[in-house]
Amino acid sequence: MLNILIKPVWLFLDARSHNAIGHKDFGLIASFFAITGILATIVDFGINQYSTKKIAANPEAQQTLYPVVFYYKLILVFLFPLALSLIGMAIGYTPKQLFYITLLGFVQSLTQLLFFLRAMFQGNQKFMIDSTASVLDKLVLIGLVIVLLSWNAMNLENFVYARIASFGISVLIYYIVSMKLFGFIKPVFDFNQLVEIVRISIPFGLINMLYATNERLDQYMIYSLAPHEDHSGHYAGGYRFLDAIMMYLWTILPIFFAKFAHHIQDHSAKQRLFNVGQIIASVPMTYVCMCIFFYGDKLFPLLLDNSTPEDLYAMSSILKILFLSAFLHGVFAIYHTLLTSTGYELKVAVMVVGSIVINIVLNYFVIPVHGAVGSAWVTLVSTTFLSFCYLAYIHWYTDIRVPYTILIRLAITYSGFGLSFYLLDTLLPSMSIEMFQRSYDLQWLVVCSLAGLFLIFFTWLTGLFRILIQKGEL
């Protein structure tokens, strides 16, 4: 909940930082942040998730697990940035690129260290402390960014330093908290135990690495292959809004994950949850996606006013294409949640590998010609592939029925909603409404509000509300 409250503030400040830094330099940071995030996930080996699970099941395991893993995480804080700089030199990075990939490697290693401390809190059921730890770095970063923007001191270097400071402060505070809770535990190097921990945790790491690669690799490929240096910044400009709306799914899907796992032996309960989740995940996402599809181009002149008309057009196009992917996530993310919570993780991993291969191969040929806009279309193709795989696997290989009747009702609802949106957008400007005569810019707000009422009406008309109420999950 705290993340949901903070996200809009950070969305605004991140965009204003982008505006001050410029598309070229912000694209560099976005792409390096993406690739260092993937690599940091790989060298974590899934240890954070394993630590949470191990300590939750056996709190005494912390006494042997914490010293070894904490030592490893501390070493990574220094070795990971060094390794990135050596790799950068090997592939011919410029001094500027080496400087920033090293700094961002430091950011990612601090992030992983903070995640490990949070894993300790989660494993010991200290969820209130964990919830504050999940937002403290963002709160500190928000404060620092506000100061930089207010003093006209926002630039590429200061933006990265602000990130380092935010995670460094958070790690220090929560390390002190961990000592208060668990006492001082001296870091210990035990190679054999570390290898055993890595061996056990690798399945968690594999899944995390695949998801991180599937979500982030396109940003780095755009920076490396696009015909113009601004393209990576354009993609980052559109992607931040996709990342923001996905917060809704990241909030509700863990609830369904836990419920699916709890009812893993109860077929009827899983089916009811699946049916309800199909509606709850999809309808709000579709509303936001439709608003973006019609009026997404109004976001960028407000937030990125230093952009040229060509920049604005590119970002608006990318945003609308990415939100077609968001629509698919809204409809089919519950399928992924069902599979991963009921023992089909390996099957899902194979599907994600297929999506990654599609992403890499198509982007390799598309980006040099069509740039960031082409990569957005590739994202839509790979998302469509993954969505179809989820649906087909559940249909053919599980004991859960795909709720085709609900899908048909959703299709009717969204068709009526989309038609209503189009008619409102077309007809309202032609009406003699004094409000529009005074300020045409208010049209989008009125249309989105009225269209939302039509969405509620069609949801009621097709019986989707009744399904929710009858299942007792509304």
**Looking at the structure, do residues 104 and 199 belong to the same domain, yes or no?**
yes
Q: Given 188, 204, 225, which residue is the final one in a domain?
A: 225
Residues 166 and 263 in one domain: no
pLDDT below 50 — which residues of the chain?
437, 472-474
Residues 237 and 188 in one domain: no
Whether 77 and 113 have beta carbons less than 8 Å apart is answered as yes
Last residue of a domain, one of 159, 194, 225: 225
**Amino acid 473: pLDDT:** 44
Type of residue found at 99: F
Distance CA 227, CA 215 (A): 22
Does the model's pTM come out above 0.75?
yes
pLDDT of residue 433: 53
Q: Same structural domain for residues 236 and 213?
A: no
109 & 97 share domain: yes
Q: Both 327 and 200 in a single domain? A: no
Length of the chain: 474
Last residue of a domain, one of 180, 203, 225: 225
**Residue 2: its pLDDT value, please?**
66
Residues 470 and 416 in one domain: yes
Q: E-assigned strands of 103-176?
A: none
42 and 137 housed in the same domain: yes
pLDDT by residue (tens digit) across 26-60? 999 999 999 999 999 999 988 988 887 788 778 88
Are 190 and 261 part of one and the same domain?
no
Q: What would the DSSP string read from start to end of 130-150?
A: HHHHHHHHHHHHHHHHHHHHH
For the chain, how many structural domains are there in total? 2
Tell me, yes or no, whether 202 and 294 share the same domain.
no
What integer pLDDT is reported at residue 469 of this predicted model?
80
pLDDT tens-digit series, residues 344-358: 888 999 999 999 999
Measured between alpha carbons, how far is residue 46 from residues 43, 237, 254, 406 in Å?
A: 8, 30, 18, 37
Q: Are residues 311 and 431 in the same domain?
A: yes
Write the pLDDT tens digit of every residue in 421-436.
999 988 876 665 555 5
- Do 146 and 282 share a domain, yes or no? no
140, 65 Cβ separation under 8 angstroms:
no
d(CA 72, CA 373): 40
Segments forming the whole domain that contains residue 268: 229-474
- Give the C-alpha separation, 3 to 348, whole Å: 27
In contact, 339 and 348? CB cutoff 8 Å: yes
**pLDDT above 70 covers what percent of the chain?**
96
